[in-house]
Amino acid sequence: MEVKQVNTPEQEESVPKPHFALSYAPWPTRYSLFVVCLAATVLLLMRWGMGARADLEHRQKGAYDASSLGLAAAMSATQADGLLPPLDPAPGHLRPKPGVGHPAYLVDGRVKSLEAKPDAGLLLSYLDDGRAFTMKELFDSCDFFYLGYAVVNEEEGAALVKAYQAHVTRGLDFEDDLPAGTGTLGTGTLYRLRIDLVERLAEAGVRIDPVRPPRIPVFVERPGHYDTPGGWVIYLDRGVEWLPYPGPFPMTEAFIQALEAISPPPSS
């Protein structure tokens, strides 16, 4: 006679149950998946690296353009008793007044022959199969905002925007300093940019920190040209600095938006 043991519910819980492990793919399949994932990661890193290098090269070209702008502005000042060019009185363009200052050009796009663009300034290159390159007026670049007046912080920048709008509305030029409630370095005047401005203000009694003299921006690159948000700033001391956007003045969001509003890009 066959005897079967019947367990009570309590005994049933105490009886060890067989352990069922999760089933995994065989080792070769797991290895293949690992290789595929590794290859994909390497490709993504390579693509990211190539993009970062291209962006860096683009930024280096921007630095060259910025340095050229600073040099051209300084050369113009030597011909105008230290004064940098005045702002263009035409509305919608934060740039130096056309025809004023030292002429400066940048090599622009390439054309196949001189006949391709006869009305443009051309530079003929005999080292490149006789092809020609267009020359663009440096100060006419829409990639940079030209400030024309000395401002060093958000409040002074807002005063400049307000004064610029009032002058343009009235059809006035920008040959002189501008009265303002919040002027350059805490004065009541927005002073035109000039090479020796800081020294002149110090002689006039404006407090200047000799250890950390103010850095006065002259040209501010319009953000949006690079994968890395930001742009180059050219200062009155001819220094060139990359600033993130948004970032410290003059790359603050409020100031850049105000500049964009009064000097929109050509496509808008």
| Domain assignments of the chain as residue spans, ordered by start | 54-87+142-262, 105-140
> Are the beta carbons of 58 and 70 closer than 8 angstroms?
no
> Are the beta carbons of 139 and 87 closer than 8 angstroms?
no
- What pLDDT was estimated at residue 145? 94
- What pLDDT was estimated at residue 199? 94
- Transcribe the chain into DSSP letters: --------HHHHHHSPPPP-PPP---HHHHHHHHHHHHHHHHHHHHHHHHHHHHHHHHHHHHHHHHHHHHHHHHHHHHTTTTBPPPBP-STT--SBPTT-S---EEEEEEESSGGGSTTS-EEE-TTTTT-EEEEEEGGG-SSEEE--B---SHHHHHHHHHHHHHHHHHT---SS-EE-SS-GGGSSEEPBPBTTHHHHHHHTT----SSS----EEEEEPS-SSSSSEEEEEETTS-EEEEESS-STTS-HHHHHHHHHHS--TT-
- What pLDDT was estimated at residue 220? 96
Range with lowest mean pLDDT among 8-12, 115-119, 143-147? 115-119
Please tell me which residue, 40 or 91, carries the higher pLDDT value. Answer: 91
> Are the beta carbons of 216 and 235 closer than 8 angstroms?
yes
Per-chain mean pLDDT for the chain: 78
Please tell me which residue, 41 or 74, carries the higher pLDDT value. Answer: 74
Percent of the chain at pLDDT above 90?
45
Non-local (6+) Cβ contacts of 128 within 8 A are none
Cβ–Cβ contacts within 10 Å for residue 160, how many?
26
What's the rounded mean pLDDT across residues 208-216?
Answer: 91
Confidence of residue 82 (pLDDT cuts 50, 70, 90): very high
Percent of the chain at pLDDT above 70?
63
Non-local (6+) Cβ contacts of 123 within 8 A are 107, 132, 133, 134, 135
Confidence of residue 122 (pLDDT cuts 50, 70, 90): very low
- What pLDDT was estimated at residue 27? 47
Confidence of residue 126 (pLDDT cuts 50, 70, 90): very low
- What pLDDT was estimated at residue 123? 46
Range with lowest mean pLDDT among 12-21, 27-36, 236-245? 12-21
- What pLDDT was estimated at residue 114? 45
- What pLDDT was estimated at residue 52? 59
Confidence of residue 79 (pLDDT cuts 50, 70, 90): confident
Please check the confidence at residue 166 and state whether its pLDDT lies above 70: yes
- What pLDDT was estimated at residue 253? 97
Q: How many alpha carbons lie under 13 Å from residue 111 in its C-beta half-sphere?
A: 18
Please check the confidence at residue 89 and state whether its pLDDT lies above 80: yes
Range with lowest mean pLDDT among 15-19, 60-64, 172-176? 15-19
Q: How far is CA 123 from CA 67, 106, 173, in A?
A: 21, 10, 34
- What pLDDT was estimated at residue 26? 54
